[in-house]
Structure 1
Amino acid sequence: MADGTALVVIDMLNTYEHEDADALVSSVRDALPFVQELLKRARDASVPVIYVNDNFGQWRSHHGELVEAALAGRHRELVAPIVPDEDSLFVVKARHSVFYETPLNYLLRQLGIQRLVLCGQVTEQCILYSALDAHIRHFDVTIIPQAVAHIDAELADAALRMMETNMSTTLVQPDDFGFDPDR
Structure 2
Amino acid sequence: MGRAGLIVIDMLNTYEHDDAEALVASVRTALPGVTALLERARAAGAPVVYVNDNFGRWRSHHGEILQTALSGPRADLVEPIAPDEESLFVVKARHSVFYETPLAYLLKQLDVRRVVLCGQVTEQCVLYSALDAHIRHLDVVVATDAVAHIDTELADAALRMMERNMAAELRLSGDISFQEARSA
Q: Which runs of 4+ in 1 moved over 3 A?
A: none
Which letter does structure 2 place at the counterpart of 1:143? Answer: V
3-state SS, counterpart of residue 135 of structure 1: helix
List runs of 5+ in structure 1 lacking aligned partners. none
For 1:94-113, list aligned pairs within 5 A: 94-113=93-112
Task: Give identity over the alignment, percent.
Answer: 68
Instruction: Work out the CA distance in 1 between the residues paired with 2:72 and 2:114.
Output: 32
TM-score (norm 1): 0.96
The equivalent of 1:55 in structure 2 is 54
> Residue 182 of structure 1: CA displacement?
8.6
Which letter does structure 1 place at the counterpart of 2:125? Answer: C
The equivalent of 1:174 in structure 2 is 173
The equivalent of 2:27 in structure 1 is 28
Structure 2 residue 85 is the aligned partner of structure 1 residue 86: yes
Check conservation: 2:113, 2:181, Cα contact below 8 A.
Answer: no
> Residue 174 of structure 1: CA displacement?
3.1
3-state SS, counterpart of residue 114 of structure 1: strand
Structure 2 residue 32 is the aligned partner of structure 1 residue 6: no
1:148-171 CA-to-partner distances (Å, cap 9, x unmatched) read 000000000000000000000001
Instruction: Work out the CA distance in 2 between the residues paired with 1:76 and 1:175.
Output: 25
TM-score (norm 2): 0.96
3-state SS, counterpart of residue 87 of structure 1: coil
Instruction: Work out the CA distance in 2 between the residues paired with 1:174 and 1:6.
Output: 13
Larger RCO (alpha carbons 8 Å, 6+ apart)? 2
The equivalent of 1:39 in structure 2 is 38
The equivalent of 1:115 in structure 2 is 114
Instruction: Work out the CA distance in 2 between the residues paired with 1:91 and 1:110.
Output: 14
Instruction: Work out the CA distance in 1 between the residues paired with 2:112 and 2:173.
Output: 22
Distance 1:109 1:181, change over 3 A: closer
* CA RMSD, 1 decimal: 1.5
For 1:97-176, list aligned pairs within 5 A: 97-176=96-175
> Residue 15 of structure 1: CA displacement?
0.7
Check conservation: 1:3, 1:180, Cα contact below 8 A.
Answer: no
Distance 1:51 1:182, change over 3 A: closer
